[in-house]
Amino acid sequence: MSESACEFSRVVRLHQITGKPVVLQPDKPEMAALAQRFALAAVHRLKAEVTLVADGAIVNATGRLLADILQYCAVSGEEFPVHIDEQLALRFVPESRAPKEEELEIQAEDCDEIFYQGESFDLGEAVAQGFGLAIDPFARGPDADAFRQQAGILGEDTPSGPFAALAALKKN
């Protein structure tokens, strides 16, 4: 995603890195855009506190992401509040150091590497991606079970399939 297309762009230049915590918070229009991007009813609060440590051109970012969102229930579609509290661990690596092979074997420590070009990277977009990963796409609201029952939808613990009818007969 280009820097101009990101809903929450915070470009960090390598020469600006001090090792002190950086606090990132989107404004209201940015929160509305992030809600739309991640199919949320609303983003009420999003805050990331990240410490950047440069090791040459490689930058390690560690911190914490806090958010309060209004999410849609995966069962009923009703809105319900969710609090997110996630640790962030990212590594920004120059694109010139990206593996050139077509097939890559990804190791656990490689999963949070973000490649960048030039002398800067977009920390805001990285936080937005971390935020998106912290959202449970199948979250169920507090009224999900009641909605399921009212709609006649089988619950997760209800037997289904070819042996469900036999199980029902056995109970009688």
- Residue 27 vs residues 3, 7, 33, 47: alpha-carbon distances, Å: 17, 10, 10, 10
pLDDT of amino acid 4 = 44
d(CA 121, CA 9): 10
User: Residue 121 has which token pair?
Assistant: 């990277």
- Residue 148 vs residues 75, 142, 162, 167: alpha-carbon distances, Å: 7, 12, 21, 21
Q: What ranges do the domains of the chain cover?
A: 3-141
pLDDT of amino acid 110 = 47
User: Residue 107 has which token pair?
Assistant: 């190791």
What global pTM score does this model have?
A: 0.76
- The string of pLDDT tens digits covering residues 80-99 is 999 999 999 999 999 887 66
- The string of pLDDT tens digits covering residues 11-21 is 999 999 998 99
pLDDT of amino acid 140 = 79
pLDDT of amino acid 24 = 97
Where is pLDDT greater, at 51 or 140? 51
Mean pLDDT over 60-89 rounds to 92
pLDDT of amino acid 1 = 43
d(CA 118, CA 114): 13
Percentage of the chain modeled with pLDDT above 70: 72
d(CA 17, CA 118): 15
Give the closest residue to 54 by CA, choosing from 101, 6, 100, 22: 22
Mean pLDDT over 37-66 rounds to 95
The Cβ of residue 62 has, within 10 Å, a number of other Cβ atoms equal to 15
pLDDT above 70: residue 171: no
Q: Whole-number mean pLDDT of the chain?
A: 83
Token pair 């101009």 in the structure block, residue: 4
pLDDT above 50: residue 32: yes
pLDDT of amino acid 2 = 42
Least confident among 27-31, 89-93, 103-107, 132-136? 103-107
pLDDT above 70: residue 45: yes
